[in-house]
Amino acid sequence: METTIPLRLSILGHPQRLAVFRLLMRRFPDHVPASEISAALDIKPSTLSSYLSALMQADLVSQTRAGTWLRYQVNMNTTRDTLDSLYLDCCRGRPEVCASLPPQARQKCVPRMDRKFEVLFICTGNSARSIFAEVLLNALGQDRFNVHSAGTQPRSSLNPLAVEMLRSKGHDVNTLRAKHIAEFIGPDAPDFDFVFTVCDQAANEECPTWEGQPISAHWGMPDPVKADGTAAEKSLAFHHAYGVLLHRLRTFSALPIAQLDRISLQRAVDKIAQTSD
């Protein structure tokens, strides 16, 4: 710890290096191309290269190659070890002074007797993927969840193909509407238990700091709205997005949420993010 922790803290002490790290943390478990990081944070490629090199030197970020593309991912094991070392160093072996984990990480999500679990799905436009997620979890949740969705764009509207597909699958679409994230910020906003981003662009953005530190994860997938080709090919893109979310949300709704602590829940929702079929 005498050398590695100060090095990591020094590297993360630089505002733009920290911004890169935070973006990759929001996108975990994705492997993100450097070009996408550069565009999202408005950092020159040459400058970004030096930031990524420093983060890799500290083992906070790992690099993989996919063809000609270099992709980057947060090294979660190193991040976890760094936080654990800080807590242990702070405690000096005295658990009565400072527990090795924050109290909220040790607590289980106690059963909600007074209200349902509050869940928010975020996308850029709130036109298809996040709407799918809202509808599906409402259908699968057996009244255990209050489900919301929102977009980060100031103006958005429901995609007609998405609405028609939901209707064809028997979902009630009469009350659906596109919502902006501003509706879910402030003293009157729900006390969220889970916040998920379902598109890469929304995850790349700095989302609000939610009260109560909800469990969050990035469940990114291709945007069916941007699909090219014939009408059949575009329809297939919407059905694929719907199918991926259906599979993920079946897994999520089956989790024994009340019996899991925060760490276990976080690992579970991160694992779900890697499910594509």
pLDDT band at 92 (very low <50, low <70, confident <90, very high): low
Do 124 and 70 lie in a common domain?
no
- In a domain? residue 87: no
Q: Measuring CA to CA, which residue among 152, 170, 144, 8 is closest to residue 84?
A: 8
- pLDDT of res. 214: 87
Task: Name the residue with higher pLDDT: 206 or 35.
Answer: 35
Do 37 and 127 lie in a common domain?
no
pLDDT tens digits, one per residue of 49-76: 999 999 999 999 999 998 888 999 999 8
Q: Are 184 and 206 in contact (CB under 8 A)?
A: no
Residue 148 has pLDDT above 50, yes or no: yes
Do 133 and 223 lie in a common domain?
yes
CA of 148: how far to CAs of 26, 66, 184, 239, 275, in Å?
A: 20, 35, 9, 21, 22
Do 141 and 211 lie in a common domain?
yes
pLDDT band at 101 (very low <50, low <70, confident <90, very high): very low
What range does the domain containing 166 cover? Answer: 117-272
* Whole-structure pTM value: 0.73
Residue 105 has pLDDT above 60, yes or no: no
Residues 155-170 have a mean pLDDT of 91
pLDDT band at 110 (very low <50, low <70, confident <90, very high): very low
| Domain CATH for 237 | 3.40.50.2300
Domain boundary among 56, 76, 96: 76
- In a domain? residue 277: no
Spell out the long-range contacts of 25-28 with Cβ–Cβ below 8 A and sequence spacing 24 or more.
25/74, 25/79, 26/197, 26/203, 26/204, 26/207, 26/218, 27/200, 27/203, 27/204, 27/218, 27/220, 28/73, 28/74, 28/76, 28/218, 28/270
- In a domain? residue 123: yes
Domain boundary among 76, 91, 109: 76
| Domain CATH for 27 | 1.10.10.10
Minimum mean pLDDT among 57-66, 67-76, 99-108, 219-228: which range? 99-108
Do 233 and 141 lie in a common domain?
yes
Handedness of CA 249, 251, 252, 258 (dihedral sign): positive
- In a domain? residue 103: no
User: In 10 A of CB 265, how many CB atoms?
Assistant: 20
- In a domain? residue 51: yes
Backbone angles phi, psi at 89, to 5 degrees: -65, -40
